[in-house]
Amino acid sequence: MANWQNWSGRLSSKPDQLSFIYSEDQAAALAKASTQAGKSLRAVGAGHSHKELVVDGDIIADLQALSGVLSVDTDQGTAWVGGGSKIHTLGPALHRHGLALANQGDIDQQSISGATATGTHGTGATLQNLSTRVTGARIALANGDVVECSAQQNSELWQASRLHLGAFGLITALQLDCLPSYRLQERSWTLPLGDLLADLNDLIANNRHCEFFWYPQTDSANLKVINPTDAPAQYPLGGEGERCAWNFEVLPNHRPHLHTEMEYSVPADQGPPCMQAIQSLLNNTFTDVRWPVEYRTLAADDVWLSTAYQRDTVTISVHQDVNLPDADYYRACEEIFLDFDGRPHWGKANFLSGDQLAKQHAKWADWWRVRDSVDPEETFLNPYMKAIRP
């Protein structure tokens, strides 16, 4: 028996086996053997999810050895990368080929397959989540076959598995749609939340990236905007809020303090009133919470289980120290988010049932149909996934 825990330590598991994968053949053999033995198999990326996506199965497979840029097509602006690649390794490696990710999240410690599993995103009203960048995938399926999928080949499998929740198989490689390398200039400043909300539409429209953190029990928000620049990179890099360098040097941040997090995506025009409702909750009821509320934007997409599926989106995240109780706070926040037609981030805390998730995601039944077609024995479902399945 092995021990595993996620980044925050809040979730832990004792699988029969923790298996390190060094080749696609090994991944395929493990998938087939797990199915034949009737055991459940879940992959782990960097363990940065707050939701029970990795825990409580029989076998956990760690694919971080399948890492790096495998090939690039500079004409198409695409790159095949190992499924276990950590995002922070991809920035410099893609840049050597003149390519870059269009966007990334607050940190770059996740694996690429883990990040696309949950629709991980950064901020930017014209920018979509990482799952939308997946133009191809190689997946070791439950029967031991390795299948390649894209818009041209096994297209339904590709469409469904761009946001895959670890439920289709072991992803050994992903093809990503990239941009030509670009540099970014970051600025950040503190201002009263009321002033910020009054200017928010312009700030979002006039900056490639715009986000803010509001600190409960204060009137202050910390705003950050990031834009493309032709200015040369400035080294040594400045601190967060003052960097000017390549995209992969400016976008990620250091977030060392262990916490839990709930995040919901609401329709873009519902962002400000939803934020104000969360602010009232913190001002009037959860007056002890000191962790900030984060506000970001995300462009509409066509990824089946994306929280931004067919709608421009604002994401609002609430946090709590990992050693403090969070359930009452998060349940109260969730009630507000649901009032604003919110959809939960797949990798963060939520209390929704499968029926509730089904109502939020128009392609829910299709996603499960395609998933079940490649894993009829449910090898790749853990108890959480079984609990929410139709």
Ligand X SMILES: Cc1cc2nc3c(=O)[nH]c(=O)nc-3n(C[C@H](O)[C@H](O)[C@H](O)COP(=O)(O)OP(=O)(O)OC[C@H]3O[C@@H](n4cnc5c(N)ncnc54)[C@H](O)[C@@H]3O)c2cc1C
Of 15, 77, 84, 271, the one binding ligand X (CB under 6 A) is 84
Would you give the binding string for ligand X spanning residues 211-250, x where CB under 6 A is met?
Answer: ----------------------------------------
H or E stretch at 328:
helix 327-339
Each as own residue / partner, the long-range contacts of residues 144-152 (CB below 8 Å, 24 or more positions apart, any chain) are 144/28, 144/29, 144/31, 144/32, 144/35, 145/28, 146/24, 146/27, 146/28, 146/172, 147/374, 150/175
Residue numbers 96-115 binding ligand X by CB under 6 A: 105-107, 110-111, 113-115
Judged by beta carbon, residue 68 or residue 192, the one nearer ligand X is 68
Ramachandran region, residue 166 (left: φ > 0; alpha: ψ -120 to 50; beta: rest):
left
120 near ligand X (CB under 6 A): yes
Would you give the binding string for ligand X spanning residues 306-345, x where CB under 6 A is met?
Answer: ---------------------------------------x
131 near ligand X (CB under 6 A): no
Taking the complex as a whole, how short is the minimal distance between the CB of residue 7 and ligand X, in angstroms?
A: 5
Residue numbers 159-218 binding ligand X by CB under 6 A: 165-166, 170-171
77 near ligand X (CB under 6 A): no
Judged by beta carbon, residue 287 or residue 347, the one nearer ligand X is 347
CA 270 centroid distance within chain = 22
Judged by beta carbon, residue 195 or residue 259, the one nearer ligand X is 259
Taking the complex as a whole, how short is the minimal distance between the CB of residue 326 and ligand X, in angstroms?
A: 14
Stretch that binds ligand X, among 12-20, 45-53, 201-209, 232-240 (CB under 6 A): 45-53
Peptide bond into 390 cis (omega under 30): no
User: How would you label 94-123 residue by residue, b for 16+ Cβ within 10 Å and e otherwise?
Assistant: bbebebbbbbbbbbbbbbbbbbbbbbbbbb
47 near ligand X (CB under 6 A): yes
Taking the complex as a whole, how short is the minimal distance between the CB of residue 166 and ligand X, in angstroms?
A: 2
Sheet architecture: strand order including 134-140: 69-73, 78-82, 170-177, 134-140, 146-150
Taking the complex as a whole, how short is the minimal distance between the CB of residue 232 and ligand X, in angstroms?
A: 27
49 near ligand X (CB under 6 A): yes
Judged by beta carbon, residue 128 or residue 185, the one nearer ligand X is 128
**32 Cβ contact partners less than 8 Å away, ≥ 6 residues apart:** 142, 143, 144
121 near ligand X (CB under 6 A): yes
Secondary structure of 144-193 as H, E, C letters: CCEEEEECCCCHHHHHHHCCCCCCCCEEEEEEEECEECCEEEEEEEEEEH
Judged by beta carbon, residue 122 or residue 216, the one nearer ligand X is 122
Of 11, 41, 45, 314, the one binding ligand X (CB under 6 A) is 45
Judged by beta carbon, residue 106 or residue 249, the one nearer ligand X is 106
By residue count, the chain amounts to 390
Q: What is the dihedral of CA 114, 116, 121, 126, to 10 degrees?
A: 170
User: How would you label 331-360 residue by residue, b for 16+ Cβ within 10 Å and e otherwise?
Assistant: ebbbebbbebebbbbbbbbbeeeeeebbeb
Of 11, 31, 43, 142, the one binding ligand X (CB under 6 A) is 43
Tokens of 140: 């070791």
**CA pair distance 131, 356, nearest whole angstrom:** 22
44 near ligand X (CB under 6 A): yes
63 near ligand X (CB under 6 A): yes
300 and 265 Cβ atoms separated by less than 8 Å: no
118 near ligand X (CB under 6 A): yes
Taking the complex as a whole, how short is the minimal distance between the CB of residue 180 and ligand X, in angstroms?
A: 23
Of 11, 53, 147, 299, the one binding ligand X (CB under 6 A) is 53
| Sign (positive or negative) of CA dihedral 130, 221, 254, 9 | negative
Residue numbers 253-282 binding ligand X by CB under 6 A: 255
Residues contributing to the site for ligand X (CB under 6 A): 7, 42-49, 53-54, 63, 83-84, 105-107, 110-111, 113-115, 117-118, 120-121, 165-166, 170-171, 255, 345, 347
